Copies of this chain bind each other. A is one copy, B any other.
């Protein structure tokens, strides 16, 4: 790799001058600039970001921490973040936390050691000491705190929406699947659904689950119909679980949506490709990722911020696992 000294040597100038050309600051004579640029081309030189980062105490690196990229909701978030970051020449150091505190701390630690200029994190404990002590901007994605920048969807309203829509379409014996208790948004949507069902005085059952894993989803779907065989409406904790429920209903010969209605959550890309396609609560994941990136960029570049948090509205997507409303 050519260094700035090589370029300076070839162009017959000092490294300071090359640096000025590179960064477009200070005075540089037009003729000199030409020579330097030619030397850069000839040597195929690109500046060493590490050296730059050491002096400036700033890199072009941003840390992104997500629970599990294998859950189809997160790739969309990640893509949104990446695409926006790319536009401002930031790159991502990426890690999966598995909702595990240890791994999370470990990643945050190495983010810092690598001079990242900002962090986007989807953590269950945004109040953790580790985050409070951070000296660089952070935005929480898909998770909330009152006092730190965050981008998230209105999960509670999503839960209410799901309940209202399934009730409006005639379900009487509703089963609400409760996602992992330590995952904030999962609880929000659960509570929203319970709120509405209670309000309407309907009977309902709750199935507790502890993860969003693909393999465990099948088991819960089986439990669901074993424990509550008469249910005629299922509000699932996310689209993966909803898919498993849909499949189990199919296996048991229940007609969807005639015998059981099913509503998912997230609106992952595959939910529209299911047969019947899945009615669900849409979160604008890609947009949310972009917005988190946007916010972080503003924070990092010290611009004035009007709103430091953004809550996205959620939307009922009517597809084929719910009945048509008359």
Residues of A within 8 A of B (CB): 1, 46-51, 53-54, 59-61, 64, 68-70, 72, 74-76, 78-79, 82, 86, 91-96, 107, 109-110, 112-115, 135, 214, 217-218, 240, 243-244, 246-247, 249-251, 269-270, 272-277
Contact = CB atoms under 8 A, between A and B. Distances in A.
B50 A273 contact: no
A79 B96 contact: yes
Contacts of A250: 275-276
Contact of A243 (B92, B217, B273, B276): B273
Contacts of A95: 82, 86, 91-92
10 contacts: A48-B115, A54-B54, A72-B72, A75-B75, A86-B95, A91-B110, A93-B94, A243-B270, A246-B275, A251-B275
Nearest to A60: B110
Contacts of A54: 48, 50-51, 54
A115 B82 contact: no
B70 A96 contact: no
B277 A247 contact: yes
B243 A115 contact: no
A11 to B, nearest CB: 21
A301 B175 CA distance: 54
Given A46-B109, A49-B110, A69-B75, A240 B82 contact: no
